């Protein structure tokens, strides 16, 4: 199990560093229902990742690992596909980056954050963790990696819990800052929001490039093994 966790750590960090969802949480923390909506969003984030893990591990468990412990043809193909898709996301993000002196644009749905109820905040967290292309690809890759690790069902579940908890650090950080810093939190969160908003495309480009290359490298290693 330790080897599986080591392999999925970069993917978990990749999900954790998600500028747009982090900005969404920060915006929730300046609304009237901040104390409820912030934690609800984080819980929804974990639920979204959990659903992906249950589905992928349930389908892939016991079928993607070869008898000698090496990656099967299916796993190699999956890693190649996921790696290639992440590289495409990297290219798309790089092309959409704001030019010098240009303000970064935010998704239109962020304008509705002020009116979110706790239930809607929960749903937003689940959707942004599970349906965001980068997060979906990384979560599927992590779950598939765990499924082919040759460990028990309980160990697979524990390994994926570790992945999900690390993957939630990014969106949970503003909530922790909000409750821990009190009156000082708004200034800190505003600086965080501004920096992430302006550098979102660059952050996403670098992350997807590195993780895409990593997955393709793992696949090629499986072929040579």
pLDDT digits (tens, 9 = 90+) for 93-147: 888 887 776 766 777 788 888 888 999 999 999 999 988 888 999 999 899 888 8
Expressed as residue numbers, the domain containing 105 is 2-224
pLDDT-derived band at 62 (thresholds 50, 70, 90) equals low
| CA–CA gap between residue 74 and residue 18 (Å, rounded) | 28
For the chain, what is the largest distance between any 2 Cα atoms, rounded to a whole number of angstroms?
58
pLDDT digits (tens, 9 = 90+) for 152-195: 888 999 999 999 999 999 999 999 999 999 989 999 999 999 89
| CA–CA gap between residue 211 and residue 209 (Å, rounded) | 6
How many domains is the chain partitioned into structurally?
1
Query: Token digits for 153?
Result: 């069902």
| CA–CA gap between residue 121 and residue 116 (Å, rounded) | 6
């Amino acid at each position: 199990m330790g080897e599986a966790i080591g392999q999925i750590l970069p993917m978990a960090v990749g999900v954790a560093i998600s500028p747009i969802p982090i900005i969404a949480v920060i915006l929730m923390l300046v609304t009237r229902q901040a104390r409820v909506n912030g934690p609800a969003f984080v819980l929804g984030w974990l639920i979204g990742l959990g659903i992906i893990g249950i589905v992928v591990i349930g389908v892939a468990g016991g079928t993607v690992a070869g008898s000698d412990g090496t990656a099967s043809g299916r796993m190699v193909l999956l890693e190649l596909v996921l790696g290639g898709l992440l590289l495409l996301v990297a290219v798309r993000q790089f092309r959409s980056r704001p030019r010098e002196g240009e303000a970064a644009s935010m998704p239109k749905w962020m304008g509705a954050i002020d009116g979110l109820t706790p239930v809607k905040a929960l749903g937003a967290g689940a959707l942004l963790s599970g349906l965001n292309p980068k997060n979906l690809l990384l979560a599927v890759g992590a779950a598939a990696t765990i499924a082919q690790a040759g460990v028990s069902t309980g160990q697979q579940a524990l390994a994926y819990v570790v992945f999900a908890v690390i993957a939630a650090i990014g969106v949970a950080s503003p909530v922790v800052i909000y409750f821990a810093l009190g009156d000082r939190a708004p200034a800190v969160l505003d600086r965080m929001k501004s920096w992430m908003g302006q550098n979102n495309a660059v952050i996403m480009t670098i992350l997807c490039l590195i993780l895409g290359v990593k997955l393709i490298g793992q696949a090629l290693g499986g072929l040579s093994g």
